[in-house]
Amino acid sequence: MTQQLYEFEHKDMVFSKDGQLDELIALDRYAVSEFDGYKVGDTVVAIVDKAMGTKKVSEITSVNGDGTYTIKDRLGENHNVTKELLQKPLETEPYQLWRRWAKAGASVEKTPELQKYWENEFRWLMDGYRYSLGGRIQLMLGQEYVTGKRANLTAYNCFVTESPQGKSDSKDQFLEVLHIAYKEASIMRRGGGVGTNISNINTVKGIGKKVKFEFILPEEHKDYDELQDMVKLGKFKGIQLSGKAHRLSKYIYAEDSVDGLFKALSEMVEEAYTTNLSKITVDFSDVRHRHAIVKGVNGRSSGSVSWMELFVLVVNLLKQNEIDNVDFAEIYSHITHLIEQGGSRRGALMLICDANNPNIRKFIERKKTAGYLTGANISVAISDDFMQKVINAKNGELTKENKEALELWELLIESAWQSAEPGIVWMERYNKESNSWYYNEIIATNP
């Protein structure tokens, strides 16, 4: 006799249909979507304001002859949008999500009997949101049961990457930072958050003003108007913008992929430190435009201009006389803004710096100035020895080391009071209590 699957007791539970955020967040971030085959009556998530990236759950009311779609959002407002601004969730009610998660969670069992047993158990557990999975897991788990194809996403919420190592050579240190940045981007585009420790990055020399940089984005590119808006805001100061390469420059082509863009970025840095030419040109002509669908990860592109801004950040770092670990951390912060997960979700980043790092004061105060480290949470790694020095100073033992520890502690508290950051991480205690002490030292936490 075939075992019957557990029937959801709360199958009639629905998301709000009146424009509230629960439906938008679920359908945009966690439901499995497709990006084709739209027809009248379909429920869609639509970008109704390209400049702001505003999304609304809507219903298609007409397919127009010019290739656009008329949609009505949950508040009754009509919008006219192009196909690429739409995504169609294939799951629109909670029980459809529970069903997918239960089946996928049980799929690892070795026999059909065990799979059926655990699918029933999981269906009961998910029913009515008795238990809710982490967001990235909600998106990734079991997509193949809806689309027939496994998504290129991770069910692990967050990771700690290897920390960038200190290098004595300036070029090597810059490339090491970019190597870890590439790993960060690779994790984030598959749905994971990232934590890393920046303490070992050495302060190195930049190249100064000896090389000029030219970026190419043709007028016919869909992001060209956005680029012009950024220029008006002063975002591309010091960069020559053009439609074709200068004949006396080093030409670098940026391929339309995370791998290709980081290859171009590393090549630009390497050339900057070694070239005898007066100009380096980077061509972004083929990098996909903002909001373009990124198949396989259920997301959208942040666009060519956002990637160009990362290259601008790197150029400005190169032009500094010195670059320290806090300066380099801006690269990791910017990447968080580049990666959209599950349609609209941004990546998450934790940056950690040791209390005994020579740049720790700069790190603690960095976010007091608007525009710095906006894509990261930051924490200071402190030790029992550091805290003992603070206690000693408070008890009147005012040695130079004790006073410095107390001053740093008070600076940290003042900053945390003002802006809720940085946090503190008891790294020494983590390692004392870790059950993986014999395998690997804990150097950071995930976000």
Q: What is the pLDDT of residues 319-347, one digit of tens each?
A: 999 999 999 999 999 999 887 644 445 67
Per-residue pLDDT reduced to its tens digit, 384-442:
999 999 999 999 999 999 999 999 999 999 999 988 899 999 998 999 898 888 888 89
pLDDT at position 249 is: 66
Strands 423-425 and 377-381: parallel
What is the phi/psi pair of residue 137, to 5°? -70, -40
For residues 171 and 202, is the Cβ–Cβ distance under 8 A?
no
- Helix, strand, coil in percent for the chain, rounding step 5: 40, 20, 40
Which of 104, 137, 139, 124 has its CA nearest to residue 28?
A: 139
For residues 331 and 314, is the Cβ–Cβ distance under 8 A?
yes
pLDDT at position 60 is: 97
CATH topology of domain 33-89: SH3 type barrels. (2.30.30)
Give the global pTM. 0.86
pLDDT at position 2 is: 56
- Residue bearing tokens 């196909």: 83
CATH 2.30.30.140 in the chain is located at 33-89
pLDDT at position 345 is: 57
**Which positions of the chain have pLDDT values less than 70?**
1-3, 244-249, 295-299, 340-346
Class of domain 160-348: alpha beta
pLDDT at position 342 is: 43
CATH 3.30.1620.10 in the chain is located at 160-348
| Burial group, residue 149, by CB count within 10 angstroms (0-12, 13-18, 19+) | exposed
Residue 164: which region, alpha, beta or left (left: phi > 0; alpha: psi -120 to 50)? beta
Q: Which amino acid makes up residue 323?
A: I
pLDDT at position 78 is: 97
